[in-house]
Amino acid sequence: MSSVLPQKIDRSLLTEFSYASRKPPELMHLELWKCTKCATLYCPRPDSQTFLADEYGSAAYDSGEEAVDAAVAYADNLEKLVNLKDMSVLDVGAGDGAFISECQRRGANKIFGIEPSKAAIDSASNEIQSHLKLGTLDNVIAISEKFDLATLFMTVEHVADPNDAFASLKNCLSTNGRIAIVCHNRLSFVNRVLRTKSPIFDIEHQQIFSKKGIVFLFQRMDMDVEYVRSFKNTYSLQYWIRLLPIPKSFRGLLEHLPSVILQKKVSLNVGNIMIIGCVRN
């Protein structure tokens, strides 16, 4: 293990969106060390799960359209391996329930989501709210039901201990159940080019995985990796502009482009990967 980056946090710059999803990049981060075996970055003294639960619980939420776009991308990639029809799905870090809603649209027979942000749940439709529970990974342990698929999308970087997260999810799986994760690959082309200007360097991230590192995590938890692949995300140009590591003044000019341009959907591979694993028998 070796130290890579000292902590870079100016708490005077934090806002109600600092622990929200799909925010403009703040380019602040915790102290990060590098694993010499897999090149994953991790914080040697991560925030406590209690602190994180409080921060996510009070975070604002304004990413409904992007959540739907992401949900479609996740479901499309999942269905390269599994058919969501008639499946039972648990989504942790469910936001406004966009993904479980998409699973229901594709025929899932049982959907349930856990989300720490009350603002996100309040943004969900009345129908989907009935399938969402306010809580964190700690609440997963109390779930007595079993699911065919447990998902953790853009969430594993945010937990204090990924091993605990996996143990909780495995406890909720039916026989031959699967866990699917989407996370950043810090060694992808775009992230190697941007380096610490990449949005993956974020105050929320307790670790930033490499592809090799996330595979190791599955293997350590006795999961057989069935699928690991990068994929394209499709969002509006307006959202991609929000993520650009450029001065706010320049971003402001771009955000005043005509609406017909800003709302155009653009597909890009920005280094996100999906990995699916099955409980080892």
% of the chain residues with pLDDT over 70: 97
How much is the pLDDT for 223? 92
Give the integer Cα–Cα distance in Å for 92 and 90: 7
Give the mean pLDDT of 233-242: 93
Check whether 249 has a pLDDT greater than 90: no
Query: Which band of pLDDT confidence, cut at 50, 70 and 90, is reported for residue 13?
Result: confident
Give the mean pLDDT of 99-119: 95
- Over residues 178-191, the pLDDT tens digits come to 999 999 999 999 99
Check whether 96 has a pLDDT greater than 60: yes
Average pLDDT, the chain: 90
Query: Which band of pLDDT confidence, cut at 50, 70 and 90, is reported for residue 1?
Result: low
Of 1-10, 103-112, 165-174, give the range with the top mean pLDDT. Answer: 103-112
Residues pairing with 230 in the sheet: 273
- Over residues 156-180, the pLDDT tens digits come to 999 889 998 888 899 999 999 999 9
Could you give the dihedral angle defined by the CA atoms of residues 261, 184, 22 and 29, in that order, rounded to the nearest 10 degrees?
A: -120
How much is the pLDDT for 63? 67
Phi/psi of residue 175, nearest 5 degrees: -55, 130
Check whether 124 has a pLDDT greater than 80: yes
What would the two tokens of residue 183 be?
A: 């996370």
Query: Which band of pLDDT confidence, cut at 50, 70 and 90, is reported for residue 132?
Result: very high
Give the mean pLDDT of 242-267: 89
% of the chain residues with pLDDT over 90: 67
- Choose between 45 and 62: higher pLDDT: 45
Which of 59-68, 124-133, 177-186, 207-216 is predicted with the least confidence, judged by mean pLDDT? Answer: 59-68
The total of other beta-carbon atoms located within 10 Å of residue 260's CB is 7
What would the two tokens of residue 242 be?
A: 């929000």
Give the mean pLDDT of 133-151: 87
Domains in the chain (CATH in brackets) are 2-279 (3.40.50.150)
How much is the pLDDT for 49? 78
- Choose between 99 and 2: higher pLDDT: 99
Give the mean pLDDT of 224-244: 94
CB < 8 Å & 24+ apart, contacts of 124-133: 124/96, 124/97, 125/97, 125/101, 128/96, 128/97, 128/100, 128/101, 129/97, 131/97, 131/100, 132/94, 132/97, 132/100
Check whether 2 has a pLDDT greater than 70: no
